[in-house]
Amino acid sequence: MSSIPDDQDLGEAGQRAVHRGYGTVPLLPRAAAAPVDKPIRAAGGAATAHNIKFSGAGDAVDATVTTRNGTILYSAQLRLVFWGREWASVSAPVPMTSVIADVQSIVAGPYLLGLQQYAVSRVWVDRIIDLTDEDPPHNPFQGSGVLSQNDAEARIGQLISDGKVPEPDEDTTPAVYVVFLPSSVAGNSLGLPPGIVGDHTRLLQIDPDDFWYSDVPVAWVGNDGDRSDVSATFSHELVEALTDPYGDGWQVEPTSRFNWHEIADVCQSTYLLNGVVVSSYWSRADNACIVPDRSFTRYEVEWIWRPDHIEWLGGTDQDGDAWQLPRQAVMDRIRGGDVFYVEGGSSGEKTLVGIYYLDPAHPYLATYPDGFADDNLLALPQHPPT
């Protein structure tokens, strides 16, 4: 919280009337692109995340990211605001519970790990704010001009003024308010700014007791009735609100004080991460649009090729696709965290394939001895690779 500078002009409800910018999500087709680089994936929640890189339509292939040494949210607490009676309806196109689950998955999973290069380290959901007993206006973004305060920001300001949520100077960790809008109000589609499905900006909140002000990050997420579009828009706004909450943090050149050009704006590919569609964002470390992932692949071994010792293995992966790999490739993937196993045809027991050593220079593949003969690598049928 800061004292109000002499050169700032304040409008209604304490909103800054000059130098106000936005980070927007344009209304564009979203399609999950095949990654151009999907390295060996690591297993389990404690595994190292790998950055899936994208080069689809609308994804930058080279970009320069800079900061004006402004504000970055090193840690942040999210306050999710569901505004509109539609969210309380059992027939809501996108249930509120689904959105909350998707947000929790995004925040708790590996998605934000790529922001560590921008000094963002910790984010969590602080609370859910239920405004389902009221509706926003049919056109909540039509004010007196582009610098006017929209209704989503005004509603957050009112919550703070009414004492429904802590004042900014009472928060030990910055709070980011995310307003999830309904798809319709009283049967009419909600009016959104042309060509925009999401936005984040700064709300100037005045404390009248001592005439100080605080900048509060506020984002809104549009709702077209498609759950995947809601989660993609939310993830887009989230990474930008964390890395550039006030328009003076991390931006992609050419930067702007008004129409903020941020790290998700130069990436259009989306990715299904732990069952949730998320937007990719620019990584200066990878020089590519990325989504961090720490998932792994399970491979069932169904045959081997062993002219002298095991040279090739093959079978079916977790997606039902046939695979065949030479011994060294299997070892490399096991070291990276992927899982290979044999299932006994009679016993139904499953045993993991591991790397064992005759000596430090001679590794070999074998199944862990579990007392069942039919889930052993050497019990599998043999045929050469095709």
Q: Which of 233, 143, 235 is nearest to 193 (CA)?
A: 143
Report the distance separating Cα 322 and Cα 337, nearest Å: 19
The tens place of each residue's pLDDT in the chain, 386 residues long, gives 332 233 333 333 333 222 345 666 666 555 554 443 333 333 333 345 678 889 888 999 999 999 988 899 999 999 999 999 999 999 999 999 999 999 999 999 889 999 999 999 999 999 999 999 999 887 666 654 333 347 888 899 899 989 999 988 889 999 999 999 999 988 888 888 778 889 898 887 666 565 566 789 999 999 999 999 999 999 999 999 999 999 999 999 998 888 899 999 999 999 988 889 999 999 999 999 999 987 677 899 999 999 989 999 999 987 788 999 999 999 988 887 788 999 988 888 888 898 888 888 889 999 887 788 888 999 999 999 99
Residues 231/106, Cβ–Cβ less than 8 Å: yes
Q: What's the pLDDT at 141?
A: 67
Q: What's the pLDDT at 176?
A: 97
Residues 201/244, Cβ–Cβ less than 8 Å: no
Give the DSSP H/E element, type plus range, for residue 17: none
Q: Token pair for residue 299?
A: 């491979």
Parse the chain into domains and list their residue ranges. 2-293, 298-379
Q: Which of 323, 300, 301, 324 is nearest to 377 (CA)?
A: 301
Report the distance separating Cα 49 and Cα 180, nearest Å: 29
Give the CA diameter of the chain.
Answer: 84
Report the distance separating Cα 124 and Cα 107, nearest Å: 6
Q: What's the pLDDT at 69?
A: 84
Q: What's the pLDDT at 1?
A: 33
